[in-house]
Structure 1
Amino acid sequence: MTSRRLPTSAPRAALAAAMGALLAAGTLAGPAHAADGPDRQALGQTLDAVTAAGMYGIYSQVRDGGWTWKGASGVADAGTGRPVRPDMVHRIGSITKTFVSVAILQQVERGTIELDAPVGRYLPDLVPGERGHRITVRMLLNHTSHIADYIVPAFPSLLEGSVKSLEDNRFRRVAPKELVKMGLAGTPTGEPGATPGSYSNTNYVLAGLLLEKVTRTDAADHITRHVIRKAGLRHTSFPRTPHIPGPHSGAYESWYGFFDPPRDFSVYEMSWAGTAGAITSTMDDLNRFYRALLRGELLGPAQLAEMRRTVPVRAGGGVVDYGLGIYALDLPCGRFWGHDGGVFGMATQSLSSEDGERQISYGVNRTKYQQIDEGGIVPHEIDIAQVRHLLVALCGTDAPTARTASGTPFLPFPADRGAPVRP
């Protein structure tokens, strides 16, 4: 393949931006669910449609009140044909950011951190001078700091038409402060506090270092004790080795055809993501986590309200309503909160209704399977099938199909979903 500049913009599940297309295709007044929950047969069919479109494997859990459905389709190992299971442990990428934000807001409750205090008050050596004075803790959490992302300098070959960096860094351990220095050395994307914000992993690596400074504890250990365990999660962790703990799938990275066949990156040193995206979890744990969060079991009312104060943030080629480590999406059947995440070979989506009653979390084990043309990323039928599964789960079987009135596909998230520039 000839050398070319590889795309480094990353996905963000900007479902709210697709409302026009949904309205054109037909909308719902509310969730068209049976009394005992969504249609199990339809959920299974839409899950199978994702693998029929070319995804290797997908696992999903849907909850509606006390009703739960879980399913899996496809293979965990492309070589042996070993099937995926609904309970597999999965790299959740940027969903890690919600966990980190909860831990920071718990410290806000305790009075050890002020949301609108300058970051330089806590980390003067790391973010010195005027920048440290102007950028606040809130700006880190809602991506309005305009600090550049560190991914490009961390994986420099991606801008040179090569995926060499991905293999070179498979076992490389990098310190959080080194990642932050890469981001701070980059050109700012705007003035601190300006909207729309600009999504940057550097913000959440800084948030992890801030957490360590005020708690005098390793950030992963603190989040494990005060967020993961508090939420009652049994299969969620920051792995200490390059391996995914517990039963898991392969993580097949295509990088838009540069890996053909796709390469398995399930064994990978995740210090490059750290508190921006290194957590592993299951779909059941993710639904438990967001339900506990939205029901006020992890934060008090004031901090939960702050978390849900949104600003427009540019991410993955679109704009999303982003709060503090969580974003809002307006679907035909209501507003949903959550996050998505993508690392090399794995992508995840988790969404919950405002009361935590209706939920979906699903993971896929192949990423950047789309093609690139002069106009950018070309949507794939896999994307359309994922959207349909999500809509059936949250809005019912009468949900509009994932196409516009003209018959062309629409994507509630950008077509480059899962790109690791944004774990």
Structure 2
Amino acid sequence: MDFGQLDAALDAVHRAGVPGVFAEVRAGDQVWRGAAGVADTGTGRPVSAGMRHRVGSVTKTFTAAAVLRQVERGRIGLDTPIGHYLPKLVPGERGRVITVRMLIDHTSGLAEYLPYAYPSLKAFPDLAATRPDSLDEHRFTRFDPVELIAMGVGAPAVGPPGVYSNTNYLLLGQLLGHVTGGRAEECITRDVIDRAGLRDTTFPAGTHVEEPHSKLYESWFGMIDPPRDYSVFDMSWVGPAASLISTVSDLNRFYELLLAGEIVSPASLAEMRRTVRIVSQEGKLIDYGLGLHPVESTEFWGHGGTVWGGGTLAAARADGTRQFAIAVNAQRWNRLDESGRPQPHPIDGALAALQRLAMSCDTVTNR
């Protein structure tokens, strides 16, 4: 498999309707990088494979790894109730029942806070009854994570089975701050990002992404037409759950080292790869570990992520022979059918084909 096939698959994603897409595939010491389309639909500025990107919930793997590092130091117990550490944030019986592990693998039963923080999304998961108005209303809102957690904790419990919820990871951020005496972002940077030697991975200091980066075009299921740029945004609405900025190269390095047992210990990595069944944000049953999940099969492990206008998927083969990371500068391009469900779109098939090729190619040629 040569790089021409990967180039063609990448171009197909762009032709299907994504303004810009970029990716990197590694196989041993060989690397392919590609980009297709534009970073700015107004100026025609092209995307490049080295662009920095908001990677969304890929952040969760970093946060989970930081928690496991504290477990290794004896500061956190995986099966200790969260109420032991944060009794004011998760009070009463739930604080005594919900463990740290249950936060990391989304089996806590704590609801997603987002529909409460963004009023126009209150009807979620009934997509047809939502509106994107709150995205503009909260573009520059500085959210207090404790207030967001209170929304999730105060909402009716969800599951079983476990249900994917950002409330869990905001709580993990507070837990890291509690046991280290600093901000969660500082702990994650020191124990995970710096440990992995990632040069272009940071938490946002403000509302902008440092250059070079792409604009991010959100459609909200056809309700924003034409798609609107949300690359300038205050990411306090997700914090340690989904606010990280990175590159496809850094993500490949991170997952390669993580799956090799060089970020957390082999014992911790084994815990991360113990999966349970949960319901994803898309309403699908998936296998999920501790901030990590199998991608297509248990040969590859990684995480996907979305923000307003952007998406990312990164994974590594467990034997260390291959890694891939794909980034797009559009999101929620599917329109809804009469029942309110997202309709299939050519982008979905093109992305799936690119992912399959990235996972299966035996040889890649340096560009």
Q: TM-score range by the shorter chain?
A: over 0.9
Please state if 1:368 is matched with 2:337. no
Partner of 2:149: 180
Shift of 1:329: 2.7
* More displaced 10-residue stretch of structure 1: 112-121 or 312-321: 312-321
Alpha-carbon distance in structure 1 between the residues aligned to 2:262 and 2:118: 38
Deviations 1:5-39 (A, max 9, x none): xxxxxxxxxxxxxxxxxxxxxxxxxxxxxxxxx42
Shift of 1:356: 2.6
When the two structures are aligned, how many residues end up with a matched partner?
355
Partner of 1:163: 132
Partner of 2:307: 343
Match of 1:112 among 69, 75, 80: 75
User: 2:349 is paired with a residue of what secondary structure?
Assistant: helix
Alpha-carbon distance in structure 2 between the residues aligned to 1:169 and 1:98: 26
Match of 2:44 among 72, 81, 85: 81
* More displaced 10-residue stretch of structure 1: 129-138 or 156-165: 156-165
- Matched letter for residue 347 of structure 1: G
Deviations 1:108-165 (A, max 9, x none): 0000000000000000111111000000000000000010000100111123543211
The structure 1 segments of at least 4 consecutive aligned residues displaced by more than 2 Å after TM superposition are 158-162
Partner of 1:32: none
- Matched letter for residue 325 of structure 1: G
Equivalence map 1:14-413=2 (5 Å): 38-158=1-121, 159=123, 161-190=130-159, 194=160, 196-315=161-280, 316-331=282-297, 335-375=299-339, 376-396=341-361
- Matched letter for residue 88 of structure 2: D
* More displaced 10-residue stretch of structure 1: 315-324 or 284-293: 315-324
Shift of 1:374: 2.3
User: 2:336 is paired with a residue of what secondary structure?
Assistant: strand
- Matched letter for residue 342 of structure 1: T
User: 1:41 is paired with a residue of what secondary structure?
Assistant: helix
Partner of 2:365: none
Deviations 1:367-388 (A, max 9, x none): 1111101241111101100110
Kept after mapping to 2: 8 A contact 1:62/1:359: yes
* More displaced 10-residue stretch of structure 1: 368-377 or 290-299: 368-377
Alpha-carbon distance change, 59 to 134 in structure 1, aligned in 2, over 3 angstroms: same
Alpha-carbon distance in structure 2 between the residues aligned to 1:46 and 1:225: 37
Shift of 1:320: 1.3
Alpha-carbon distance in structure 2 between the residues aligned to 1:156 and 1:314: 23
- Matched letter for residue 278 of structure 2: V
Alpha-carbon distance in structure 1 between the residues aligned to 2:15 and 2:295: 27
- Matched letter for residue 155 of structure 2: G
Alpha-carbon distance in structure 1 between the residues aligned to 2:248 and 2:73: 30
Alpha-carbon distance change, 161 to 149 in structure 1, aligned in 2, over 3 angstroms: closer
Deviations 1:160-206 (A, max 9, x none): 5432111000000001101100101111003xxx5x31100000000
Shift of 1:395: 1.3
Alpha-carbon distance in structure 1 between the residues aligned to 2:44 and 2:5: 25
Alpha-carbon distance in structure 2 between the residues aligned to 1:112 and 1:301: 18
Deviations 1:194-220 (A, max 9, x none): 5x3110000000000000000001111
Kept after mapping to 2: 8 A contact 1:290/1:356: no
Kept after mapping to 2: 8 A contact 1:73/1:83: yes
Deviations 1:272-311 (A, max 9, x none): 0101100000000000000110111111111111111000
Deviations 1:229-250 (A, max 9, x none): 1000000000110001220000
Alpha-carbon distance in structure 2 between the residues aligned to 1:396 and 1:64: 8
Root-mean-square deviation (CA), in Å?
1.3
Partner of 2:126: none
- Matched letter for residue 165 of structure 1: S
- Matched letter for residue 31 of structure 2: T
**Percent of residue pairs identical:** 51
TM-score, normalised via structure 1 length: 0.82
